[in-house]
Amino acid sequence: MTCRIAIIGMGKIAHDQHVPVIAKNPDFELAAVVSQRGVHPPGVPVFASSRELYEKIPNLDAVAICTPPAVRHAFAREALAAAKHVLLEKPPTPTLAELSHLEAAARGKRVLFTTWHSRFNAAVAEAKARLAGSSIRSLEVEWKEDVRRWHPGQEWIWQPGGFGVFDPGINALSIVTAIMPWAIFVKSAELFFPRNCQTPIAARLVFEQADDPAARLQAEFDWRETGEQSWNITVETADRGLLRLRNGGARLEIDGELIVDAPLAEYEGIYQHFAKLLASGESDVDPAPLQLVADAYMLGRRVEVEPFE
């Protein structure tokens, strides 16, 4: 049965991915959108508020919430109360408590799906399979991009709950938490805040692996990179060689040999998975990447840097 879905928040990701991917997937029909600015794809009804959406389209099955994270809990809570299934853009919520609350509200009643789009790469699945049970010597995450190029005009990223450099950085952590064979914990963090911003523009994290404290595990996130953009994860193992995930998880090399280089189809994978969840009635809620960001904030040493203009 086709799922009648509405998108809430018609910003960049809704426009670039959700609208075209829903249009291609026969399991879904875009029934409406909610947009404060009245933005909508041609022929699709638009409502100024989610309340109006539920009143006017009572047979709606699901919503995809594509707003900034700070307001997502309220939209998701309202959707679950209106008996709709919920797909959440990443990061699902700004706090772990809000996510636990949504998980409990959905349990046994509706499907809740916390999407982590970077995980929907063939190279990430392959890296996970290759690393299963392996002995890790080191992990190095390098996520460096130009915030002005990728987030023009997005004021919310600098506000509390906006995640700052962890908005892209959490994508790396979603891959790390998917592929690492053993649990890792944040041991220390340095967070670099522009003097005029509420969220960090850069961060350095050191992790520990529970059963092997000698492993060197670190991550560097930086939004000030105007040169070559890098979204790379390197894992050195004692028994499986050197794995390099490049291009945000699209390409996998092992000991210099290309293993996977698949075209990007993250959102196609997200909606295929959502269709399966809807068919089975199961939720898919993974707080692990959000947990690492929260712990980085909890342990992080604050460093002030020049204002962001």
The catalytic residue positions are 90
Stretch that binds ligand NAP, among 62-70, 174-182, 200-208, 288-296 (CB under 6 A): 62-70
Distance CA(35)–CA(83), nearest Å, equals 21
Q: How is residue 176 written in tokens?
A: 């790390």
Under the binding rule (CB under 6 A), the answer on residue 11 touching ligand NAP is: yes
Which of 4, 13, 95, 265 is in the footprint of ligand NAP by CB under 6 A?
Answer: 13
For the CA atoms of 94, 189, 306, 225, the dihedral, rounded to the nearest 10 degrees, stands at -90
Q: Give the nearer residue to ligand NAP in terms of CB position, either 14 or 296.
A: 14
The 3-state DSSP class for residue 253 equals strand
Q: Give the nearer residue to ligand NAP in terms of CB position, either 11 or 194.
A: 11
Under the binding rule (CB under 6 A), the answer on residue 167 touching ligand NAP is: yes
Q: Provide CB contacts within 8 A for 120, sequence distance 6+.
A: 265, 266, 267, 268, 269, 270, 273
Q: Give the nearer residue to ligand NAP in terms of CB position, either 69 or 249.
A: 69
Q: Give the nearer residue to ligand NAP in terms of CB position, either 248 or 300.
A: 248
Q: Write down the least CB distance from residue 211 to ligand NAP, Å.
A: 32
209 pairs with which residues across the strands? Answer: 184, 212
Q: Give the nearer residue to ligand NAP in terms of CB position, either 152 or 213.
A: 152
Write each residue from 231 to 270 as x if it is in contact with ligand NAP (CB under 6 A), else as -, in one continuous string: ----------------------------------------
Q: Are 209 and 136 a contacting pair, CB within 8 Å?
A: yes
Under the binding rule (CB under 6 A), the answer on residue 74 touching ligand NAP is: no
Stretch that binds ligand NAP, among 29-37, 94-102, 230-238, 297-305 (CB under 6 A): 29-37
Q: State the first-to-last Cα distance of the chain, in angstroms, to the nearest integer.
A: 49
Under the binding rule (CB under 6 A), the answer on residue 35 touching ligand NAP is: yes
Count the residues of the shown chain that bind ligand NAP, applying the rule CB under 6 A: 20
Q: Are 31 and 6 a contacting pair, CB within 8 Å?
A: yes
Stretch that binds ligand NAP, among 32-40, 191-199, 254-262, 283-291 (CB under 6 A): 32-40
Under the binding rule (CB under 6 A), the answer on residue 71 touching ligand NAP is: yes
The 3-state DSSP class for residue 136 equals strand
Q: Provide CB contacts within 8 A for 9, sequence distance 6+.
A: 34, 35, 65, 66, 67, 68
Q: Give the nearer residue to ligand NAP in terms of CB position, either 123 or 293.
A: 293
Which of 21, 30, 66, 172 is in the footprint of ligand NAP by CB under 6 A?
Answer: 66
Bridge pairing between strands 85-88 and 112-114:
parallel
Residues 82-121 that bind ligand NAP (CB under 6 A): 89-90, 117
Q: Are 202 and 192 a contacting pair, CB within 8 Å?
A: yes
Tell me the CB-side half-sphere exposure of residue 21, using CA atoms within 13 A: 21
Q: How is residue 242 written in tokens?
A: 């050197």
State the residues that interact with ligand NAP by CB under 6 A: 9-14, 35-37, 39, 66-69, 71, 89-90, 117, 154, 167
